[in-house]
Structure 1
């Protein structure tokens, strides 16, 4: 039977696809425009828009397991079609915002909670993955890094435990191919609590540059980020960061407890991606 990987162009979906391919699984990669998917030879591609039920039947035909990203519009219909198609397991890429402080009023948490609840109520076997901030969020500094050594940042003392996308992918593969995470919700953090200031210090050290932080007020940060972050997501991020100022982030839920391999550090991520940052 075939494993369907939705979001196959994404930071996690792409990595999961590569791992499953190397292990010899039958795979189908989906995207709204499958012609844009860059997949290994022999991997089937299919059009799938999680907002468009007309695309569900073809995408799910012959599928046994699904790596699913969180899209609330159409989720109930998608799960109904998955059950009809004989899908055995859903692995959902959700977010730790669902269990964060003030989550009941957080638009990003609400977005993911709708999908989590639908998956848990579907009757299908599932694993819900709740990663924290991705290390790849650091790409948000790339424009400033390319322009110079002064970096604008709101709430630079906010602490996060960023998680490497490879760690998320490793756990997702376990969830898709083994039984030990079935019907569980799995929190994922990185191995270190870091402030944004410390992250930028690490980036500077790896790049051999002395970076200077220009601390923005909340209002200045909101005005600057509103150019590229949708308002509900921006409100959620700023609230999370403000609440995290001076609060050590939980690092107890690394991938190591599942994979047996130490969680990848932020410095490792920067060493791998530094050439794309600046």
Structure 2
């Protein structure tokens, strides 16, 4: 059985690849830059881009199962190509924002295309990625050992990307996951201040936290470029998540939505990894 992993070099996808390979599965990793994919020995690497449907069609040849990174612009065509290739099970990387009704135009169309395909399907709906701290704070921690944040005491549920991948691998290989949308969170609510402290402990050096205005925070993120710049307006409250027809939530409703969920432990039979574990795993990335 061949499993095609799209987004194979992403924060979650690379763990999906390595965990499948560790279990002895035949893995095909699709990357826009196969020469620099850096996959484990024995993993087949193919070139492909979800915006280039013919390239995905070639990558799908002979595949039986598919881990699908979200790309709504070509989701219908990519899923149709998967069905033609003989894929019968698809696991999608989605978002908890779909569950909350906050996402109607990005992950949701991908989920809908998969559900309409006739394949067995499972959706992974993580909330806050712990790896976002690396993309947002990595430059300032590496340069100054400081985190600048406009809401340092707001508490989220950072989730280790290895846990997201492990649930996806279980859905790709195991039984009883068809038709499930798994909302995934980390095990503890932590503020930015607490996360910075745990990163500092992993580094063996204190991380200073500075409170800045939302506008200052937006300028900092825009100056970093890449993912941080692309999401600066949303992350600092200057832009809503989705169009104006999404639900409005009170502070109490938001608080209830940010309770840790037991999904990771229920699916995997072990507790979800803590943020302290994540910080230790990524300490070298902050040096």
When normalised by structure 1's length, the TM-score is 0.90
Measured in 2, the distance between the counterparts of 1:83 and 1:213 equals 50
CA distance in 1, matches of 2:138, 2:15: 22
Mapped partners of 2:251, 2:231: distance in 1: 17
Q: Hey, what's the Cα distance between the residues in 2 that align with 1:204 and 1:44? A: 37
What is the CA-CA distance between 1:173 and the residue it aligns to? 0.8
Q: CA deviation at 1:244?
A: 7.7
- What displacement does 1:132 show? 1.4
Equivalent position of 1:237 in the other structure: 235
Q: 1:231 Cα shift?
A: 6.6
> Counterparts of 1:22-61 in structure 2 under 5 Å?
22-61=22-61
Root mean square deviation of aligned Cα: 2.4
Q: SS at 2:283's partner residue?
A: helix
Q: Which residue of 2 aligns with 1:211?
A: 207
Aligned-pair distance for 1:113?
A: 1.4
2:73 aligned counterpart, secondary structure:
coil
2:279 corresponding residue in structure 1: 270
CA contact (8 A) 1:163 1:189 kept: yes
What are the equivalent positions in structure 2 for 1:85-96 lying under 5 Å apart? 85-96=85-96
Partner of 1:258: 267
5+ long unaligned stretches in structure 1: none
Q: Which residue of 1 aligns with 2:153?
A: 157
**Contact conserved, 1:159 with 1:247, CA < 8 A, in 2?**
no
What's the CA shift for 1:265? Answer: 0.5
Q: TM-score, normalised by structure 2?
A: 0.87
What is the distance in 2 between the residues matched to 1:64 and 1:44? 15
CA–CA distance in structure 1, aligned partners of residues 230 and 14 of structure 2? 26
SS at match of 1:256: helix
In structure 2, the residue corresponding to 1:63 is in which secondary structure? coil
